[in-house]
């Protein structure tokens, strides 16, 4: 596979008295993973820590986990800090989409992973209360001010009695990560949904789905080899799988069918976005010949969202894959 390269520096020749050799960076040399909460991101970050040492890229992480929406000044400051990081870098943080070009920066390549919205909500609901297998008291550290009656609130009661945690706008969670920082991105509706879809098409190299994580990793290795080469072999390593298992949320229970149906209704825009992303992801898989075995998906919920469109056949089998990647990078 051919790789595009970016030359840093102005020198075009070398001799005994000339400047030092140019630094050759892979293209793209600026990648942002604005990871969606409870969508497997801790597993991916564990992989990235190993990969950054193995391949020599700069992994830029953030200790801020609960501030996804930023003021204009905060956006400018974060973009400035990220843009001046040593390249090649991969920056990761729970943060809604940032438009670097709006503030005069070079727009990076974005990647992300999402999952079934109800499953994501349930994982977050119980994680906030009871943590994961990394430690019995993790949940107490994460949510120390949570009252006991709230911590042990039955999930069905929360949903059926319309508690704020189980209602909109809190259920409108995934779309803002792709819509961006505009105030309307936080309002459940068509405007935020369509803007999120547009950003996926124009600014994200890949948005995968957690239910097919191995295929996500395979495509990341194909698209971004300097960052993700050998990622799947590392992921499948038994020692790494042990670490990954520690991040599984504990004490999860399944709501009643009635409660789940209510969640589907409240999250109809989230589901429309999820199925849109899933369709695009499957187009990519087909384009690159991935025919992995996946678990049979749950039936699509029957409500507001129209039936899924038939997968189109827009892919010319003779199209050059590397040319397609170059076109993506030029967006």
Secondary structure (3-state) at 259 = helix
pLDDT of residue 301: 54
In whole angstroms, what is the distance from residue 329 CA to residue 113 CA?
19
Long-range contacts: 184-187, Cβ < 8 Å, 24+?
A: 185/96, 186/69
Kindly state the tokens that stand for 201. 């098409």
Half-sphere exposure of 244 (CA within 13 A, CB side): 17
119: phi then psi, degrees, rounded to nearest 5: -60, -40
What is the model's pLDDT at position 66?
A: 86
Find all residues with CB under 8 Å of 232, minimum gap 6, and list them.
214, 217, 218, 221
Compute the distance between CA of residue 3 and CA of residue 322 in angstroms, rounded to an integer. 8
Could you tell me the two tokens for 282?
């499957």
What whole-number distance in Å separates Cα of residue 310 and Cα of residue 69? 35
Q: How far apart are CA 301 and CA 312, in angstroms?
A: 22
Asked if residues 325 and 223 have their Cβ atoms less than 8 Å apart, the reply is yes
pLDDT value of position 309: 33
Cα–chain center distance at 242? 22
pTM of the full predicted structure? Answer: 0.81
What sign does the CA torsion over 288, 201, 29, 74 have? Answer: negative
- 3-class secondary structure, 137: coil
* 189 contacts 199 by C-beta, under 8 angstroms: no
Q: Helix, strand or coil for residue 204?
A: strand
| Catalytically annotated residues | 94
75, two tokens = 């956006």
- Mean pLDDT, consecutive 10-residue segments, the chain of 331 residues? 36 48 79 96 94 97 92 96 96 98 94 97 89 54 75 94 95 98 97 98 97 96 97 90 59 89 96 97 93 57 39 36 51 46
The helix-helix angle for 257-266 and 268-287 (nearest 10°) equals 80
Among candidate residues 61, 60, 52, 47, the one with its CA nearest the CA of residue 217: 47
Cβ(112)–Cβ(174) below 8 Å? no
Looking at residue 298, what is its pLDDT?
Answer: 57
State whether residue 23 is helix, strand or coil. Answer: strand
What is the model's pLDDT at position 147? 83
Alpha helices in the chain (DSSP H): 41-55, 72-83, 117-130, 138-142, 148-151, 155-160, 176-179, 190-203, 213-223, 225-228, 231-236, 238-245, 257-266, 268-287, 321-329
CB 169 within 8 A of CB 179: no
Q: ω before 28 within 30° of 0 (cis)?
A: yes
The owner of tokens 């497997």 is: 40
């Amino acid at each position: 596979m051919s790789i595009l390269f970016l030359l840093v520096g102005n020198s075009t020749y070398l001799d005994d008295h000339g400047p030092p050799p140019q630094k050759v960076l892979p293209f793209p040399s600026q990648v942002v993973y604005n990871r969606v909460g409870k969508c497997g991101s801790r597993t991916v970050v564990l992989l990235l820590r190993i990969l950054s040492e193995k391949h020599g890229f700069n992994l830029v992480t953030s200790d801020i986990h609960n501030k996804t929406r930023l003021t204009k000044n905060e956006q400018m400051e974060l973009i400035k800090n990220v843009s001046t990081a040593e390249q090649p870098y991969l920056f990761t943080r729970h943060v809604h989409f940032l438009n670097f070009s709006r503030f005069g920066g070079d727009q990076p390549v974005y990647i992300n992973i999402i999952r079934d919205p109800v499953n994501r909500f349930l994982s977050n609901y119980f994680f906030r209360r009871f943590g994961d297998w990394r430690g019995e008291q993790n949940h107490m550290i994460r949510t120390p001010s949570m009252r006991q009656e709230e911590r042990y609130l039955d999930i069905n009661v929360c949903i059926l009695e319309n508690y704020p945690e189980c209602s909109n706008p809190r259920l409108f969670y995934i779309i803002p990560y792709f819509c961006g920082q505009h105030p309307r991105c936080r309002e459940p509706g068509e405007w935020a949904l369509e803007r999120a879809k547009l950003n996926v098409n124009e600014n994200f190299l890949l948005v995968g789905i957690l239910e097919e994580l191995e295929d996500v990793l395979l495509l990341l290795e194909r698209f971004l080899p300097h960052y993700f080469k050998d990622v799947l072999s590392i992921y499948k390593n038994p020692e790494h799988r042990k670490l990954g298992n520690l991040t599984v949320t504990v004490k999860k229970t399944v709501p009643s069918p009635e409660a789940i149906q209510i969640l589907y209704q409240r999250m109809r825009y989230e589901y429309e976005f999820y199925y849109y992303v899933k369709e695009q992801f499957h187009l990519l898989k087909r384009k690159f010949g991935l025919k992995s075995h996946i678990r049979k998906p749950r039936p699509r919920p029957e409500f507001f969202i129209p039936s899924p469109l038939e997968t189109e056949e827009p892919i010319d089998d003779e199209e050059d894959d590397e040319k397609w990647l170059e076109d993506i990078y030029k967006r």
